[in-house]
Every structure is written in C-alpha cells, then in structure tokens.
Amino acid sequence: MTAGGMTQYLSTVQDMPQETEEYLDKRIKTFMWEGRSVAPINNDILFLPFDQGGKNLLSIKDRNNAIRIKTLQGYLTEDEDRAKWCYLADDSFRKEVPQGPVVDKKARISPFIQTWAPLQKKLPRPLKQMYKTAKKFDLKFDALALAKDVKGEIPIWFHPGGKKDLSRHNNSSCANCLRDIHGVRTV
C-alpha cells in the first residue's frame, strides 16, 4: 500500500506535516468506506488486528509517532557513531530558547536531559515534531541506576533531578563563575 510504504519512508527521512497526516488518514477512510461520509463502525476498530475484529489498518499518526521516537533515540545516542545531523539539531535546540527562565548559552546542552525547553515555533519542523512527540509521550531522562561514569556526564546546569526553580541557582554570580571561568559543565 502506497500510504504505508512510500509515505513512511519519506517520514523517516524528512518527517510528515500534520496536514499530510490528516489528508492520508482521510483518504484511507474514504477508501475503506467506499466514499460514504459516515463510517458504519468506529474508526479505532479499523486499526485493530484481524483476530480482534479489526482490519489491521495502518495508523499513519501512530506510525509517524513511532518514527519520531526512533529518530529521538538516534538523536540521543552519544557515541562516536552519532550522526552529523544530531550536532546540527543540538545547535538548533540551543539557539531557540524562550526569554524566561534565562538559560545561559554555556549551560545549554540538551532540552531532553535538562529542564529548559526550546522555543518550538522557531525550530525546523522535524525537530519541532520530534520534541512535541517526546513531550506527548513523556519521554525524558529517567534511570533507576546509573553507572558512576554516566553520572559524571550529566549536565550540572538545569539538572533533571533538581528543584523546579533552578534558574535562580543556574544564573547566580557563583554559577556564572563556575561556568565561564572554570568551565564546569557536568556533575
């Protein structure tokens, strides 16, 4: 099916706009119900597997969310094989910071492992969609136990385990000295 093959490949490469998602969803439903304006059964049932009474129909929205989560997984990989686009994405996220709370440029590492959030309206669409999907599914830095070396790599500024109002501490003269003079970035 073209709606599932070609579109999903393109979504993997360049993301799919929401309007296109909605358009394809409507086209699939129109095809399934032979143009009838009212569906005889609930649309959610269409996506169920055959053995549960469904039609095992592709959910474009769910598939795109899965693709975005997989892309996020690749983005968050921190090893020598990290894709070059990830470094560009880092820069895009770091550039687009709202007016408050103040997040010093040297303190910005990643909104996925820190408590600051990028200004979404200025992000490129694929990054905006990836970020929105992460927020929608509450994907965040969370671990039961971390190795000592991993703990040492967690950013100290806007720390994910810190209190809610960190901007006061992260932007103090002491923090500025630690960041600017001493180059402190991690725990």
> Domain span at residue 49?
6-58
94 and 172 in a single domain? The answer is yes
Alpha-carbon distances, residue 38 vs 34, 51, 78, 125, 178 (angstroms): 10, 24, 49, 33, 63
Contact at 8 Å (CB) between 72 and 130?
yes
Neighbouring residues of 65: CB distance < 8 A, sequence distance ≥ 6: 133, 136, 137
Residue 68 is assigned to a structural domain of this protein: yes
Distance, CA of 91 to chain centre: 15
pLDDT score of 97: 85
* Per-residue pLDDT at 167: 66
Question: Is 185 inside any structural domain?
Answer: no
Distance CA 171, CA 16 (A): 38
Same domain, 83 and 169: yes
In which residue ranges of the chain is pLDDT below 70?
1-4, 6, 164-167
**pLDDT at site 144:** 74
Q: What is the per-residue DSSP string for 124-173?
A: -HHHHHHHHHHHHTT-----S---HHHHTTSBSTT-TTS-S--HHHHTSH
Instruction: State pTM to two decimals.
Output: 0.79
Q: What is the pLDDT of residue 4?
A: 65
